[in-house]
Chain A
Amino acid sequence: MSDDFDPLRQLRPDRIEPDDPGDPAVFSRAKEQFMSTIDQEHIEKVVGSTPDIYPRLAYLDELGAVDYLGRVFQFVENREARMEFDEKFLCWMRVGTGVVMISHANADVHRIHSPVEVGLTTVILHVYVHDIDTHYAHAVAEGADVTMELRDAFYGERCYEATDFEGHRWHFGERFDDIRARGGRTPEPEDPPS
């Protein structure tokens, strides 16, 4: 083709300065954000926007926890809800259809402790996410302490586990049904996973 449009055709920015091939991290981040937006609408239609159970977790560094859980596990804080008292914070983070409260470890009033204080924890929090593989890759890239590698579990979900920086334990999974519903692949029934 040779015509009056040629000069503009040649001035296409990626011909002058070839851009990097699309950064997969950009796309997976954008996809994840997009899916959480549209899932949100789905959630509000299906079950309403407030769950009936809010686990309240204790951290010595509760703002560090909000940062960590947002950055590594992609929880989203409801900033309007954040409360501050005496330089301690109480925060709410949305996790899919659920909410967790992040508070200061405190021996006198609420008497809940961070695992890092007592050297053990008694709970694993199970979280279902959209696109577990992307979630896992993101968490690993952000330096998650993975305590169980991503795998297909016999009871029909793909999952991994990680322990956060103060020792709370998290289990992330996606059900095979949900993986198939978004066009993903799951193990064949005749090929049982380990």
Chain B
Amino acid sequence: MGDDSDAVVIAASLESPAQFGAIFDRHATVLHRYLVRRVGPDEAESMMGDVFRIAFEKRATYDLERPTARPWLYGIATNLLAKHRRTEARRLHAVARLAAHRLPPLDLADHVSGRVDAADLWPRVADAVTSLPEPERDALVLHVWEGLSYDEVADALGVPVGTVRSRLNRARVRLRELAPASGREQHENTETRDPGRIES
């Protein structure tokens, strides 16, 4: 049982539902972190149960050609998040305010016209992201925060990979317009910093 693919477990759970518990064991922590990133810990805890309940109810429609269920679960979670747009926007703006204090200020002066300091940049990124149309934002967050490949994002959102590509391109343009991107040299600087460090 332990080594069976998600597809095998899900197929078996049609006859014996309790087997679906293994899907929870394998993916709950990752899905929980995704929900926390987008809507914060309180909402995430109650939504996590919903994600797996919905998955369980829809398990007969799972495409058994797909060995891992993770993109499918990401898709279910992402659908649920649509009802929490305001919570998500609030959270991202709060994170941006924290970032202005805690992240080392980005030295963007070399890369953009006029100086953009940290206090300015992060709220602008938050604005850029929260003002994106939902389909673009979902694709963006799944790719950038969750590290899903284009194929996996397509799988999660149930759209062709070409659609993912164009959504991410549009999101990229918007991010560039509203929040001037950091340049290559600058990025290498930040990589050497400890991302977990908290300054307060």
Contact = CB atoms under 8 A, between A and B. Distances in A.
Given A8-B129, A8-B144, A42-B17, A30 B48 contact: yes
Contacts of B151: none
Interface residues of A, number: 35
Interface in A1-50: 2-19, 22, 26-27, 30-31, 33-35, 37-39, 41-42
Majority DSSP secondary structure for residues of B touching A: helix
Interface in B19-44: 19-22, 24-25, 28-29, 32-33, 36-37, 41
B187 A30 contact: no
A34 to B, nearest CB: 5
Contacts of A31: 21, 24-25, 28
B94 to A, nearest CB: 9
Contacts of B53: 34, 37-38
Nearest to B36: A19
Contacts of A7: 121-122, 125, 175, 179, 181-182
Contacts of B28: 27, 30-31
A130 interface: yes
A119 interface: no
A182 interface: yes
A9 B49 contact: no
B56 A38 contact: yes
Contact of B49 (A2, A4, A30, A181): A30
A27 B24 CA distance: 9
B52 A34 contact: yes
The main secondary structure of chain A at its interface with chain B is helix
B137 to A, nearest CB: 10
Interface stretch (B69-77, B98-106, B157-165): B98-106
Given A3-B181, A5-B172, A6-B187, A18 B22 contact: no
B179 A35 contact: no
A189 interface: no
A192 interface: no
In this complex, the interface size class of chain B, counting residues with CB under 8 Å from chain A, is 35 or more
11 contacts: A4-B181, A5-B172, A7-B122, A8-B175, A11-B92, A18-B196, A19-B41, A31-B24, A31-B28, A42-B16, A181-B19
Given A4-B172, A27-B28, A34-B53, A11 B36 contact: no
Given A19-B41, A22-B32, A38-B20, A5 B175 contact: yes
Contact of A27 (B32, B41, B125): B32
B133 interface: no
A34 B24 contact: yes
A51 interface: no
Interface of A: 2-19, 22, 26-27, 30-31, 33-35, 37-39, 41-42, 130, 181-183
B144 A5 contact: yes
B148 interface: no
A113 to B, nearest CB: 38
A33 B121 CA distance: 42
Contacts of B98: 16-17
A114 to B, nearest CB: 35
Given A6-B182, A182-B18, A13 B37 contact: yes
B82 interface: no
Nearest to B126: A11
B134 interface: no
A9 B190 CA distance: 12
Contact of A34 (B21, B37, B182, B198): B21
